[in-house]
Amino acid sequence: MILHTPRNRPAPWNVRRRSSKSKWIIPFVALEWLFEWAAFALSNWSFLEVLEYLGTFSVLIAVIFYFSESGDRIKQRHYQAWQVINTAQGKGGSGGRIEALQELNEDKVPLVGVDVSSAFLQGLKLQNANLLRSDFSSADLRNSDLTGVNFTLANLSSANLRGAVLDHASFVQADLRNTDLSGSSLVGVDLSEAVLDGADLRAADLRDIRWQHLKSVKMVNIAGVRNSPAGFLEWAQKNGAVDQANAEE
């Protein structure tokens, strides 16, 4: 903010003129003298000070309105994100859905029932998202970070989750038929009542998984699984799982 303080009245021109010893500098002195008079006149003009106060006040009003409307802007942003997701429903490719899903999750918006089947979502980061009853069937989720996600009752059949991080996720009653989980991290996941028929678990990290209430593991490939909990491999093979290092077998 500019402080308007009264300026001293400039000296008369004849006095200023005599202070200039060189003739060539006189035009510059004259210009400076004119500016001094202009500044002197404006410094005593209250209208300019009023304008400055009004400008400062308008900035304050704008800031107040900005924060008061922040809720509406967030709602509009969420609405646009859902539009992106729903418009691309059932289509391949990303279509902006990676950014839309991540933005909604960062704002703690539940993604219950979201349908991104067949979408290209490699590298998706949805830590601790609520994806109850969601549809990720045939989606490409390679190398995604889905730590702590709630996939209860979700459809992940034929999804590609190679190399994904799924630690402590919940797959309670989830459909994981023919899902590619090779090389993924499944530390501490809950597989209660999940259907894993035909899933590929080769080289997956199964440390501390909750498998005791798995519903079905027919033709699940358990070749080279890491950190398998005690009793799991024996139980899985008795219930139809296979150990095939070569997936073409």
The pLDDT tens digits for 187-204 are 999 999 999 999 999 999
Q: How far apart are CA 93 and CA 87, in angstroms?
A: 12
Residue type, 44: N
pLDDT digits (tens, 9 = 90+) for 75-99: 888 989 999 999 888 778 888 999 9
H/E element, 72: helix 70-87
The residues that bridge with 216 in the sheet, in sequence order, are 195
Q: How far apart are CA 160 and CA 176, in angstroms?
A: 10
Q: Which residue has the higher pLDDT, 79 or 145?
A: 145
pLDDT at residue 247 is higher than 90: no
- SS3 state at 105: helix
- SS3 state at 135: strand
Domain segments of the chain as ranges: 13-68, 92-249
pLDDT at residue 64 in the model: 67
Residue 23 burial by CB count (10 A; 0-12/13-18/19+): exposed, middle or buried?
A: exposed
pLDDT at residue 113 is higher than 70: yes
Fold of 92-249: Pectate Lyase C-like (2.160.20)
Q: Among 50-59, 74-83, 137-146, where is mean pLDDT lowest?
A: 50-59
Neighbour count for residue 106 (Cβ, 10 Å): 12
* Contact of 124 with 146, CB cutoff 8 Å: yes
Give mean pLDDT, residues 224-247: 93
Reported confidence tier of residue 206, pLDDT bands at 50, 70, 90: very high
Q: Among residues 116, 114, 77, which one has the least CA distance to residue 94?
A: 116
Query: Any alpha helices (H) in the chain, and if so which ranges?
Result: 13-18, 26-43, 46-68, 70-87, 97-106, 232-238
Please, which residues have CB within 8 angstroms of residue 53's CB and are 6 or more apart in sequence? none
pLDDT at residue 249 in the model: 44
H/E element, 235: helix 232-238
What's this model's pTM, rounded to 2 decimal places?
0.71
